[in-house]
Chain A
Amino acid sequence: MTNDRDKLRELLLDVFLLSPDEFRFDLTREEIDTWDSLGVVSLAVGIHETFGYHMSPQEATSLRGIADVMTLLSSKGFDVGQSG
């Protein structure tokens, strides 16, 4: 059974078109070239599809890296663990 952390990892690979080799849970927005305005839209769509959570525009644009995505999802009760 896939856990929330694995689901998040798979989602982020697809949202930001990353290869498994380059993925890390501590990547920042600046390190991901596809984390632009369209990336924010894709991320919001993907989070909703995968976790059923609707990010507000303010939440979506305030994220500074994958660690912030994990913090947000953890605060909503999802078991995505820590970025470190």
Chain B
Amino acid sequence: MARAVEVWPLDRVRELDRRSTIVWASPSVAAMIHDTFPFTPWILGQPLPENARTLIAAGGGTLIDEAKRFVHDDAPQLRLIAIPSIWGSGAEAAPVVVLNRGAGKEIRMDDAYLPHARAVWPELAATIPRERALEACGDAWAHALEGFLSPLASPGVRDDAAEIMRGMLEAGVGNDARWFELSSRAAAMQARSSVGLIHGIAHTLEPAMNAAVWGHARLCATYMRPVFVYDRRAEKVPALLREHDLSADAITGAAESLFDAGHYRQSLPALESAWPSVLRDRCTRTNAVLVRQTDLQFFLDFA
């Protein structure tokens, strides 16, 4: 069983010792963070203050994952407190570390990478541009749905995933602060299960697409709808959802609200050329239903 990350109220973060706490914040929220927390600003690459004992990492998944790696590899004396500035990756709650290294990604997974604690700052939800918020909902939805449907999911994991998905359906998609907690729980849950074809496609296409525009979250949001329509053709998928009082139609509705047909069509040439790699991706191979070599046509026709 994975170690649970402590969940701290924001007041507890504010009360940390000023002399031994440093803050690394992404530029998008740095002003807000430094106005609120009276701690020493720091960024990766700077010398670490000798008396530093706690690092607050406030930002997106990339920043939090780099902070997890730094504490694990270079500064184990630090206690890491993660404050996500956007939901989706769930980096603040997952033992997975995804590092952008040159043209590729380095992925590590170990409970030792987990932050000591995470905190939700609800006001940050309003700082997220609408389009990015929707894409981030797609990333979180993909964790929850694929973690639930995975052939590796235990009954307990499925119960957790179902509860998370009910929360997602209730929250709707958009700039709602409830997504911080839903996303954290979805990421922690899928680490005890696996993900599937949405992630197999996203991981494979990311290096082939313009990274400035086509991030992981956009690919998840784009492919949630076609992959769910593909998966739910197998009777076991709606049956599993029914067993957990979840409506396949409601989930399809959520996927439709995240789907952008223009984005989907733009991505298809990359999907077509990368299909053999998609099939070999480890996430694809733990999809809810077996992905066949000839199934590319389904996705081409879906456009």
Query: Residues 273-294 of chain B: 1 if any A CB is under 8 Å from the residue's CB, otherwise 0?
Result: 0001001101001111111110
- The reply to whether B286 and A41 contact each other, CB–CB distance below 8 Å, is yes
- The reply to whether B290 and A34 contact each other, CB–CB distance below 8 Å, is no
Within the assembled complex, what's the spacing in Å between the Cα atoms of A34 and B236? 25
A34/B289 contact (C-beta < 8 A), A41-B151, A41-B152 known: no
Contacts of A17 in B (CB 8 A): 276, 279-280, 293
Chain B residue at smallest Cβ distance from A38: B285
Chain A residue at smallest Cβ distance from B293: A14
Contacts of A41 in B (CB 8 A): 151-152, 285-286
Contacts of A71 in B (CB 8 A): none
- The reply to whether A42 and B293 contact each other, CB–CB distance below 8 Å, is no
Minimum Cβ distance to chain A for residue B291 (Å): 8
- Tell me the dominant secondary structure on chain B's binding face: loop
Pair count A-B, CB < 8 A: 34
Q: Which of B152, B290, B292 has the most A CB atoms < 10 Å from its CB?
A: B290
Whether, in the assembled complex, A66 has its beta carbon less than 8 Å from a beta carbon of chain B, the answer is: no
Contacts of B151 in A (CB 8 A): 41, 44-45
Minimum Cβ distance to chain B for residue A57 (Å): 11
- Tell me the dominant secondary structure on chain A's binding face: helix
Which range holds the interface residue count of chain A? 10 to 19
Within the assembled complex, what's the spacing in Å between the Cα atoms of A17 and B290? 11
- The reply to whether B286 and A14 contact each other, CB–CB distance below 8 Å, is no
- The reply to whether B292 and A14 contact each other, CB–CB distance below 8 Å, is yes
Whether, in the assembled complex, A69 has its beta carbon less than 8 Å from a beta carbon of chain B, the answer is: no
Minimum Cβ distance to chain A for residue B64 (Å): 27
Contacts of B282 in A (CB 8 A): 38
B143-178 contacts to A (CB < 8 Å): 151-152
Whether, in the assembled complex, A73 has its beta carbon less than 8 Å from a beta carbon of chain B, the answer is: no
Minimum Cβ distance to chain B for residue A46 (Å): 4
A1-21 contacts to B (CB < 8 Å): 11, 13-15, 17
Whether, in the assembled complex, B239 has its beta carbon less than 8 Å from a beta carbon of chain A, the answer is: no
Whether, in the assembled complex, A49 has its beta carbon less than 8 Å from a beta carbon of chain B, the answer is: yes
Whether, in the assembled complex, A39 has its beta carbon less than 8 Å from a beta carbon of chain B, the answer is: yes
Q: Out of A11, A14, A34, A49, name the residue touching B280 (CB < 8 Å).
A: A34
Minimum Cβ distance to chain A for residue B296 (Å): 12
- The reply to whether B280 and A45 contact each other, CB–CB distance below 8 Å, is no
Contacts of B285 in A (CB 8 A): 38-39, 41-42
Minimum Cβ distance to chain B for residue A25 (Å): 19
Chain B residue at smallest Cβ distance from A13: B293
Jot down 26 A-B pairs with beta carbons below 8 A, ordered by A.
A11-B290, A13-B293, A14-B290, A14-B291, A14-B292, A14-B293, A15-B290, A17-B276, A17-B279, A17-B280, A17-B293, A38-B282, A38-B285, A38-B286, A41-B151, A41-B152, A41-B285, A41-B286, A44-B151, A45-B287, A45-B288, A45-B289, A45-B290, A49-B234, A49-B289, A49-B290
Additional A-B contacts beyond A45-B289, A45-B290 (14; CB < 8 A): A11-B290, A14-B293, A17-B279, A17-B280, A17-B293, A38-B282, A38-B286, A39-B285, A42-B286, A45-B287, A45-B288, A46-B290, A49-B234, A49-B290
A residues near B (Cβ < 8 Å) are 11, 13-15, 17, 34, 38-39, 41-42, 44-46, 48-49
